[in-house]
Chain A
Amino acid sequence: MIRDDGLVFDQRFSLKDFVFNSIGQSFQRNEDERLITGKGRFTDDFSLPEQTWAWMVRSTHPHARIKSIDTSAAVQMPGVLAVFTGKDCLNDQLNPIEHNPVPSTRYDVKLRGPNDSDIFLGYHHLLPFDKVRHVGQALAMVVARTRNEAFSAAQMVIVQYEELPKVMNSELAIKSDAPIVWDELPSNVLVDATFGDIQATEKAFEAAEHIVRFKSHVSRVTGVTMEPRACLGHYDPKTDRYTLFAGSGGAVRQKSELAKVLGVEADRLRVISHDVGGNFGTRNRAYVEFGLVLWASKKLGFPVKHRADRTESFLSDYQGRDLVTEVQLALNAKGKFLALKVDNLSNVGYCCVSLSPLSKGSGLVTGSYDIASATLRSRAVFTNTMATQAYRSSGRPEVTFAIERVIDRAARALGMDRLELRRLNLVKTHQMPYTNAIGSSYDSGEYEENMNRILELSDWSNLDQRRQEAHARGKLLGVGFANYVESSIGSPKERAEIIVHPTQIEVIIGTQPAGQGHETSFAQVAADLLGVEFNRVFITLGDTDIVTAGGGTHSGRSLRHASAVIALAVEDLRELGVRHAAHFFNCKPEDVLYENGHFKSFTSVKSVSWFDLSIQLANGEGPQSSLKELRVLRDNEMHTPVYPNGACVCEIEIDPETGGVDIKRYSALDDVGRCINPLIVHGQTHGGIAQGVGQALWEECYLDQTSGQPIACSLMDYGMPRFDNLPSFKTEIVEVLSPTNPFGIKAGGEGGTTPALAVVMSAVEDALWPLCGPVNFDLPATPQKIWNALQRGKTH
Chain B
Amino acid sequence: MTSISLNVNGKSHDLEIEDNTLLVTALREHLGLTGTHVGCDTSQCGCCVVRLNGESVKSCTTLAIQAQGCTVLTVEGLSVNGELHPLQKAFKDNHALQCGFCTPGMLMSALDLIDSHVQVLTPELVRHQMEGNLCRCTGYHNIVKAIVQASKCMKSSSLS
Contacts and interface: CB of A to CB of B under 8 A. Distances in A.
The answer to whether A and B belong to the same complex is yes
Contacts of B76: 37-39
B54 interface: no
A715 B102 CA distance: 14
A516 B97 CA distance: 10
Given A28-B93, A32-B91, A38-B75, A690 B139 contact: yes
B134 A278 contact: no
B99 A277 contact: yes
Given A38-B34, A280-B136, A310-B42, A724 B141 contact: no
Contacts of B139: 686-691, 721, 726, 729, 752
A275 B101 CA distance: 9
Contacts of B98: 515-517, 683-684, 687
Contacts, number: 183
A36 B107 contact: yes
Contacts of B20: 148
Interface residues of A, number: 59
B34 A45 contact: yes
Given A29-B95, A40-B101, A516-B98, A728 B141 contact: yes
Contacts of B103: 35-36
Contacts of B29: 47
B84 A723 contact: no
A402 B157 CA distance: 53
Contact of A728 (B34, B45, B144): B144
B14 to A, nearest CB: 21
Nearest to A686: B139
Contact of A38 (B33, B38, B42): B33
A691 B20 CA distance: 36
A148 B22 CA distance: 11
Nearest to A47: B29
A69 interface: no
A333 interface: no
Contacts of B133: 723
A687 B136 contact: yes
Given A36-B84, A687-B136, A722-B134, A227 B99 contact: yes
A516 B135 CA distance: 14
Nearest to A752: B139
B41 A309 contact: yes
B79 A37 contact: yes
Grouping DSSP codes into helix (H, G, I), strand (E, B) and loop, the B interface class, with mixed when no group exceeds half, is: loop
A89 interface: no
Given A516-B98, A724-B131, A687 B137 contact: yes
Given A28-B95, A224-B136, A724 B127 contact: yes
Contacts of A225: 99, 101, 136
Interface in A230-273: none
Nearest to B92: A32
A225 B28 CA distance: 20
Contact of B100 (A31, A311, A689): A31
A714 B42 contact: yes
A276 interface: yes
B37 A227 contact: yes
Nearest to A26: B95
Contacts of A31: 100
A280 B136 CA distance: 9
Given A38-B34, A42-B37, A29 B92 contact: yes
A662 interface: no
B91 A36 contact: yes
A300 interface: no
Contacts of B140: 686, 690, 721-723, 726
B119 to A, nearest CB: 19
A276 B98 CA distance: 10
Contacts of B79: 37
Given A32-B91, A686-B141, A40 B35 contact: yes
B100 A37 contact: no
B70 interface: no
A682 B96 CA distance: 11
B138 interface: yes
Nearest to A46: B34
A715 B142 CA distance: 23
Interface string B20-53: 1000000011000111111111101101000000
Contacts of A684: 98
Contacts of A515: 97-100, 137
A711 B78 CA distance: 39
Contacts of B37: 42, 44, 226-227, 277
Nearest to A51: B29
Nearest to A227: B101
Interface centre among A47, A309, A686, A689 (most CB of B within 10 A): A686
Interface in B139-157: 139-145
Interface centre among A35, A36, A223, A690 (most CB of B within 10 A): A36
B101 A42 contact: yes
Given A38-B75, A723-B144, A277 B134 contact: no
Contacts of A29: 92, 95
A412 B154 CA distance: 53
Contacts of A682: 95
A687 B138 contact: yes
A275 B37 CA distance: 13
Contacts of B137: 226, 278, 515, 683, 687
Interface in A684-732: 684, 686-691, 714-716, 720-724, 726, 728-729
A226 B47 contact: yes
A723 B131 contact: yes
Contacts of A227: 37, 39, 99, 101
B40 A36 contact: no
Interface string B108-129: 0000000000000001001110
Given A278-B137, A683-B95, A715 B40 contact: yes
A570 B131 CA distance: 47
B15 interface: no
A31 to B, nearest CB: 7
Nearest to B107: A36
A324 to B, nearest CB: 26
Contacts of A35: 97, 100, 103
A198 interface: no
A650 to B, nearest CB: 13
A28 B100 contact: no
Interface string A34-64: 0111111010110100000000000000000
B101 A277 contact: yes
Nearest to B78: A37
B130 interface: yes
Given A37-B76, A683-B137, 8 more contacts: A28-B92, A29-B95, A39-B35, A226-B134, A310-B41, A683-B95, A722-B131, A752-B139
Nearest 5 interchain pairs by C-beta: A38-B35, A35-B100, A277-B101, A515-B98, A515-B99
8 contacts: A37-B75, A226-B37, A309-B40, A683-B138, A683-B141, A715-B45, A724-B127, A729-B141
